[in-house]
Amino acid sequence: MSSDSATSLQSSINFEELQLQEIIGGGGFGQVWKATWRGTPVAVKVLTGSAQNAHIPKAVSEEFKAEINLLKGMRHPNICLYMGACLTPPNRAIITELAANGSAWDSLRLPLMPPYRVSCGAARGMAYLHSGNPPVLHRDLKSANLLLDESYTAKVCDFGLSRLKAQARSMTANCGTVQWMAPEVLANRSYDEKADIYSFGIIVWELLTRECPYEGMTAIQCALAVLNRDKRPEIPKWCPPQLHALIKSCIKTEPSERPSFPQIILALDAIE
């Protein structure tokens, strides 16, 4: 097969070739289906709302294509593998590998889910994204966006489609995202890679405690508590000192005081 043919095959998938089986998730972008494509189990993220409009603004359409190209170029053991896309409305969709064990959020309370292994995998995947030129920011890093394969290897997903996701929800929409947002993002200030570091710190807290951050609070209550009272999830006293220090450093208010992902990987390797 020529390289041009291979590129075309990866870029565009005929929606009629997908055998959708069941809904396994969703979010600001639409629904996620378990499906089969040419005999291979896959996950299909069917975009909804304005993303399916045949007459979306040209700038948004170009952004969609640009982010598809971004996904195509990602190759890392801890990044969810992009397999192709359906580009024609009303069936615009993203096709990726299917994670056998769902998301870290789904597995939080399962005894087999290894917190340390998942944390390390997530950090390595994010280090890969941030190493790009320019760095690729996730912008929506949370346990629901960490997929787990059959051996519980973490796969970072949903780091693309930022423009479409931004159109689909407001900053404090009740979609389970605010709890992971850095203060500078909640305050609608400019932000960089360190916003993802904050989100990662919340994820490590989740994996450690197997609890939902800010349980019982609404999205707006959570945002106000973080912004006005500098509130953070309470790290349990039984947490190992090195891990306690790592979480604390990741969720600092001042972005410049948070570590980078290469520094986080070194810290996690030292804990092992």
pLDDT in tens, 74-123: 999 999 999 999 888 888 888 999 999 999 998 888 888 899 999 999 99
Q: Note whether 256 and 159 are same-domain residues.
A: yes
The b/e string for 116-153 (b: 16+ C-beta within 10 A; e otherwise) is ebbbbbbbbbbbbbbeeeeebbbbbbbbbbbbbbeebb
Catalytic residue among 140, 149, 158, 192: 140
In this predicted structure, what is the pLDDT of residue 209? Answer: 95
Question: Across all residues in the chain, what is the average pLDDT?
Answer: 86
Q: Note whether 165 and 267 are same-domain residues.
A: yes
Q: Note whether 151 and 83 are same-domain residues.
A: no
Contacts of 62 (CB under 8 A, 6+ apart): none
- pLDDT > 90: what percent of the chain? 63
Report the CATH number that the domain containing residue 113 is assigned in CATH. 1.10.510.10
In sign, the C-alpha dihedral spanning 203, 208, 211, 216 is negative
**pTM metric for this prediction:** 0.86
**Domain of residue 15, residue span:** 3-97
The count of domains in the chain is: 2
Q: Note whether 113 and 199 are same-domain residues.
A: yes
Q: How far apart are CA 219 and CA 8, in angstroms?
A: 42
The phi, psi pair for 83, rounded to 5°, reads -115, -20
Q: Note whether 67 and 127 are same-domain residues.
A: no
Confirm or deny that 45 is annotated as ligand binding. Answer: yes
In this predicted structure, what is the pLDDT of residue 168? Answer: 44
Q: Note whether 172 and 252 are same-domain residues.
A: yes
Chosen domain end from 45, 77, 97: 97
Q: pLDDT for 133-170, tens place per residue? A: 888 899 899 999 999 999 999 999 987 555 444 444 44
Report the CATH number that the domain containing residue 89 is assigned in CATH. 3.30.200.20
Q: Note whether 138 and 90 are same-domain residues.
A: no
- Between these two residues, 66 and 98, which has the higher pLDDT value? 98
- Between these two residues, 28 and 270, which has the higher pLDDT value? 270
Q: Note whether 114 and 76 are same-domain residues.
A: no
Q: Note whether 81 and 108 are same-domain residues.
A: no
Token pair listed for 201: 């710190």
Which residue type does 121 have?
G
Chosen domain end from 77, 97, 117: 97
Collapsing DSSP to helix, strand or coil, 138 comes out as: coil
Q: How far apart are CA 54 and CA 92, in angstroms?
A: 10
Chosen domain end from 39, 68, 97: 97
Q: Note whether 213 and 263 are same-domain residues.
A: yes
140 is catalytic: yes
**Residue 174 confidence class, pLDDT cut points 50, 70, 90:** very low
Q: Note whether 30 and 65 are same-domain residues.
A: yes
Q: Note whether 91 and 137 are same-domain residues.
A: no
